[in-house]
A and B are shown apart, each in its own frame.
Chain A
Amino acid sequence: MSDVLDFIPYARFLGVAVDRANGALECVLPFRQEIVGNVMLPAIHGGVIGAFLELTAILRLIDESGTDKVPKPINFAIDYLRSAGPATTRARADIFKLGRRLAVVHVVAWQDDPSRPVASGNGKFLL
């Protein structure tokens, strides 16, 4: 899976890593100053959180389907639930449908406490 991450320039750009320590595939977004969107709070840029959710969905799909083709997003909807502070963010994706052509993936991201998610996402992808 780290091969896939190396393969996607934007994943390297965000510094995203993959962790399987808790049994399921989790993506990790380390905090750094360059991803801040609001310096007063401070909070991670909403776009970065959205991109991280989408990346997690794609990595989970690649992991599940064993393909080396990057799934094409049709659309992606993000709910922002809490402000994401200056801390490590983690995300986990659930595949709700994996058809021949279409996949539907739900993603949840959190910081300290998985029961207090900072954002959730719902994406449709062409395989």
Chain B
Amino acid sequence: MSPVPAPDPLDDPFGRTGRRSRILAGTWRREGARGVAVALVSTVVVCVVLGILIVNAPGWPRVREFFFNWGELEDSMPQIAEKFLVNVEAFAIAEAVVLVLGLGIAILRSLPGPVFFPIRALAILWVDVFRGMPTILVIALLVFGVPALEFEGVPIDPLFWGIVAIVLVYSAYVAEVYRAGIESVHPSQDAAARSLGLSRLGSLRHVVVPQAVRRVVPPLLNDFIGLQKDTALLGVGGAVEAFRQAQIDQAAAYNMTPFVALALVFIAITIPLTRFTDWLVARERGRRQATGLL
């Protein structure tokens, strides 16, 4: 009469952890080598085919000269990289402000009760208006429009108003991301917090928002990638940033390569952020599965 073995505390009653993940990992390992080989071969084939197609296009020699001109790349890259600092400064400032402002708007929009209706309405209006307009339009309107009002003491610097415009637009996007996060927190969390004696705002602050923010970090970073790219629109106001510099070089050289150079600069900075976002998403998923929340 052997005793019934005590259940392994690491396995949950449904047997979802441990065994299953070990099996999954094993499958990956066994299929790994072949999978990598197939992926490699198919990638090479696709690249070669695309390469042959492009190089044999009737316009390829001209495209190569006008878009992939090494001399022009070398000529334009230093200036473009230098002016890219303007973009970096702009998106660093904008992202910091957007992070706070977006959360503020989302919270205002989540305020409960009829008393707060006007505030909710304003938050909704903000999101609707600034998310509904093309960024370039908001920039042009602010950069040229506000100084035209000729208010005493109001700045007329185009970069200032350009950054303000980007903040307005992206705070609207980010507010919606935050709101999605807030609404994804189960109502029972709020109910539990209230039953512990927290006020509505207290519950929002100590229970709901912290969980919400953690969940929306990946989509938030996604919006920041968009924001970084949109700093290329700041040149509309006359400030010379990287895109405008590329345009200047393009016009001077009569060659599109400076645009390609700028594309490389942007990609160099957005790809690491993209990968980081992917990694965060994967980690978040891993955590949820590990704790059996899903």
Q: Do A and B bind each other?
A: no
Residues of A within 8 A of B (CB): none
Residues of B within 8 A of A (CB): none
